[in-house]
Amino acid sequence: MAQSIRACVVGATGYAGIEAVRLLLGHPAFELTKATDRKIAGTKVSETYPALAGICDLAYSEPDPEDIAKVADVAFLAVPHTASLALTPELLALGVSVVDLSADYRIKDPAVYEAWYGTKHTSPELLEDAVYGLPELNRAGLEKLAERRAAGQAVLVAAPGCYPTATALAALPALEAGFVEGDLVISDAISGVTGAGRTPSARTHFCHADESVEAYGVAHHRHTPEIEQTLSGIAGKQMSVVFTPHLAPLKRGLLATVYLPLAQDAAPDEVYAAYTARYAEEPLVTVLPSGQMPQTSSVAGTARAQVGLGFDTRRRRMAIVSCAIDNLGKGAAAQAVQCANVLFGLPETEGLLGMAPIA
């Protein structure tokens, strides 16, 4: 067998981080050599996460770049925004490639980043070469990065946010094919509670979240500019999104229902055909039979996305497209591993073909 690629997960107690740990532990080509958490360094991972008892013997360590560089070819950063700004330049300088799950290198325009995240971008010089890690959109970019990495450079992938991933996959074929009229799209999304993070709070308390749904972050969620950047890139013109996330009582799963006003001559059949054609060769994206909408449980725990389409043609033509992903899977850690697979010349779906439990 080929030598393992050594991987470190930085911020391995949060939900995205521990999902990366789980995926890497089960991955045939990566070897998890380090999992860091500043607050509980020294503690065994399985003490915090008993699901890993008898499976993972690693203890959390400090996120020290030099230590990481000694044992890792690639670091997955599952840290809050700004923490990546602090770590990434140093890791790259030490020769460690970075797949960053934070928002720090997603937004190409540092002024937009600064406006939405309320903090200065301290390494804007890295933004140009960072590749936004949505393989279904940017595979060529990732492959070029893989070449540079193979040539000895440490490289940087900015793994997309969960809502932007689902919204982009829902809108991509229609936008690309020019079926969308105007420049305004509505993305109405529902997320499971892992999306709110692992830090206990009034809002993530079981008794608050259970048996209830609510909208949050209306008109000011930080994924907004990321969605707009991606949709604009696809459309080749400035697009706006009105984005409303909701919280629902499930652990994992994200459904984005995207409203796409259609040009008057866009026939539903044609639009549907554009989706099946666009995703025919995508191993992790499935377009459901016409008229069938996806449910999030179908992709829970996986790297997969399912897309379903409906059409309202009564007065205005509108495509209503739902995309279901696991916010921690295709929406975070699994997509990060998908990108890392490309970076290291592995089959893109290596270690990522698990199926959602049925029921």
Q: Within 293-322, which residues bind a copy of itself (CB under 8 A)?
A: 293-301, 304, 306, 308, 310-316, 318, 320, 322
Would you say 151 or 359 has its CB closer to a copy of itself? 359
**The residue count for the chain:** 359
Would you say 41 or 242 has its CB closer to a copy of itself? 242
Q: Which stretch binds a copy of itself (CB under 8 A): 69-77, 102-110, 119-127, 240-248?
A: 240-248
Instruction: Look at residue 190 and give its three-state secondary structure.
Output: strand
The pair of structure tokens assigned to 12 is 């391995």
- Give the dihedral of Cα atoms 195, 201, 203, 205; nearest 10 deg: 90
Is residue 240 a contact point for a copy of itself (CB under 8 A)? yes
Catalytic residue among 8, 162, 323, 339: 162
Read off the amino acid at residue 151. Answer: A
Q: How far is the CB of 242 from a copy of itself (least distance, A)?
A: 5
CA torsion sign, 163 to 302 to 21 to 148?
Answer: negative
The pair of structure tokens assigned to 240 is 């706006």
**Is residue 112 within a helix (H) or strand (E), and if so which, with residue range?**
helix 110-117
Could you write out the DSSP letters of every residue in 310-331?
EEE-SSS-EEEEEEEE-TTIII
Among 33, 102, 230, 257, interactor with a copy of itself by CB under 8 A: 257
CA distance 133 to 156: 10
CA 157 to mean position of chain CA atoms: 11
Among 38, 70, 144, 246, interactor with a copy of itself by CB under 8 A: 246
Is residue 273 a contact point for a copy of itself (CB under 8 A)? no
Read off the amino acid at residue 66. Answer: E
Strands in 61-165 per DSSP E: 74-77, 97-100, 131-132, 156-158
Among 262, 328, 332, 343, interactor with a copy of itself by CB under 8 A: 328
Would you say 154 or 319 has its CB closer to a copy of itself? 319
- What residues numbered 16-55 form the site for a copy of itself, per CB under 8 A? 18-19, 22, 25-26, 49-55
CA distance 274 to 4: 39
- What residues numbered 177-196 form the site for a copy of itself, per CB under 8 A? 184, 186, 188, 190, 192-194
- What residues numbered 195-234 form the site for a copy of itself, per CB under 8 A? 198, 200-202, 204-216, 218-219
Q: Which stretch binds a copy of itself (CB under 8 A): 59-67, 76-84, 138-146, 248-256?
A: 248-256
The DSSP symbol for 26 reads T
**In the annotation, is 162 catalytic?**
yes
> Residues with catalytic annotation?
162
